[in-house]
Structure 1
């Protein structure tokens, strides 16, 4: 289960930030090695305080392990021919890091594995970066791989998100409920990544479209973007600016939906809960966040179903070890590692 990760304890914050800003796939910077160290040092005190404010660290490891363990247990029932199943967590910027997870898998004697991205929508800066790291560290493990690279329109995922939105909407008076604005908030991307042809924007948009279809287009909605870092241009409109704009237009109620995250972490618990909702309150708005997926049984069943279908399709030779879309590089891609990584995963001989 591949993800960005987050520091489980406050003292891990600096190393997390250093690793994050050193990753040119996620945040391309000039003089990356030197500038990443400078930015990490500058931001560490502020981000440490944010993690302190949300309880002393990120819960993303706790929730990812919970989701993985319960998915594997359910998968044993749904797909007994491929059992037993075990979920491993590989984070990109903080423990358990990819290399350590691969060592654990080798020690367990794993021969067959699925690289299952926990970013529902594909981006070269997230899924691509995690797979690049797996490619760099995993070639001598003797493990055969297949890849689940995107699943942002899976019906179970859509249903899990929609149920949380419906629960949030129930907290508003029935007289005004249909007028509550639904703000889908996703982590933004630098425009340099968007402009090279990264598919993330359209894939997040597709998720939002499916969720609103599932809700019967019950409410007005917008897709907005959060977590911009640095002075360069990022995809907008930023979530905070959207809230200011809605207040100016006379809107009084809104639900914020974390649409590109599979569990709570600093972007939900601090950025949304402590910044955006507070800003809305100061502007006279009542804003509620839809719950993250966390321990949602509907979401966990969706993860199991995605995996079961993947295994069945490979066995039936309906697909190769990677999806058709996975093989296509961004038209503006100049990253040689990305090309080599895609070729390596596509050439794997994994069988069920």
Structure 2
């Protein structure tokens, strides 16, 4: 259900029971579900990229250095150069037909399918929409629209299977910031990490089986590549690294494979401090030097294909493997709008809506 579809129509308003005759009509009480994804620039030009990167890199959950130290570097150096490089990366994967990023296209379709299933089961008392932590549609605009449509209870669903401060926490932060500004707050629940959910793991395993079945010779190693975080986050209590390692193990067990056939690595490192590793771009090159001729890479931390998967993995990391002597590189797409993925999201949502539906 697209954002514009959640606006209440006059027929959806009624005078509350036991209210006086002159009481204004109010929206019929509903339950809202908001899928929250990372974000997307509105376009690939310099200023669109700069606005997006400024919002992203100014988030204290993403870069937690003191503002007096970080902001001059960000505004005067990074944001004068980075938008050109990032814009080029986005242009290489841009959905030109709809003039938007693949992340936006895929998240919209996930939302549509989720809404279709839940409406069939629970009727129009459940509204489903999506928002972005950075860019549009903004978290604030979607939550306000949900409230205007009568949603007195909202399930906020960050699309991150593993919990991390720079992803799950910042998405939740933004939702709570909107509540802080509302006179009448809806009740809000947040969906916890779901990397152990059987339906999610089965969808992940199915995607691997289907990709492998389409290859002439199966890959020798499957690399599970997760977005990286500074190692300091692990020491400060962020469970992300541990949950990634467990996801890899659970996926391998679900596939029934031997140890060593699925390996964990991390991508998207920036800045001077030490990050969790190994780095995917280096790890795949090392696999090639070890004599591995065919590998596959999957991204279990991403619910939707985006610049980090379509450009970084399928271009930069692929090139690293081939340049080091590898011969065949297979990318396993994110779960995206697969039916089994949507079924997993439905199962998770319905479980978290316990007592509300």
Equivalent residues in 2 for 1:220-259, closer than 5 Å: 220-259=261-300
Larger mean Cα displacement after TM superposition, 160-169 or 241-250? 160-169
Of 134, 137, 142, which aligns to 1:101?
Answer: 142
Of 27, 34, 37, which aligns to 2:75?
Answer: 37
In structure 2, the partner of 1:165 is 208
- Which consecutive residues of structure 1, in runs of 5 or more, have no partner in the other structure? 316-350
In structure 2, the partner of 1:4 is 38
Deviation string, structure 1 residues 271-313 (Cα, Å, up to 9, x no partner): 011111122222232110001112200000110011111223x
Of 195, 208, 222, which aligns to 2:248?
Answer: 208
Q: Distance in 1 between matches of 2:111 and 2:38?
A: 15
Larger mean Cα displacement after TM superposition, 3-12 or 147-156? 3-12
Equivalent residues in 2 for 1:1-352, closer than 5 Å: 1-11=35-45, 12-30=48-66, 31-38=69-76, 39-55=78-94, 57-78=100-121, 80=122, 83-139=124-180, 140=182, 141-174=184-217, 177=218, 180-217=220-257, 220-285=261-326, 286-312=328-354, 315=355, 351-352=356-357
1:107 shift after superposition: 2.5
What TM-score does the superposition give when structure 2 sets the normalisation length?
Answer: 0.82
Q: Distance in 1 between matches of 2:87 and 2:162?
A: 28
Larger mean Cα displacement after TM superposition, 115-124 or 140-149? 140-149
1:172 shift after superposition: 3.6
What TM-score does the superposition give when structure 1 sets the normalisation length?
Answer: 0.83
SS in 1 for 2:85: helix
Deviation string, structure 1 residues 97-131 (Cα, Å, up to 9, x no partner): 11121222233222110011111111122111111
CA RMSD of aligned residues (A): 1.8
The structure whose residues are more often strand, as a share, is 2
- Which consecutive residues of structure 2, in runs of 5 or more, have no partner in the other structure? 1-34
Q: Is contact 1:6-1:58 (8 Å) kept?
A: yes
1:83 shift after superposition: 5.0
1:223 shift after superposition: 0.4
Deviation string, structure 1 residues 68-91 (Cα, Å, up to 9, x no partner): 12112212334x2x7532222221
Q: Is contact 1:187-1:260 (8 Å) kept?
A: yes
Q: Is contact 1:165-1:255 (8 Å) kept?
A: no
Q: Distance in 2 between matches of 1:62 and 1:273?
A: 19
SS in 2 for 1:92: strand
The runs of 4+ residues in structure 1 deviating greater than 3 Å are 171-174
Residues 265, 8 of structure 1: alpha-carbon distance in 2 compared, 3 angstrom cutoff? farther
Q: Distance in 2 between matches of 1:41 and 1:108?
A: 41
Q: Distance in 1 between matches of 2:147 and 2:71?
A: 31
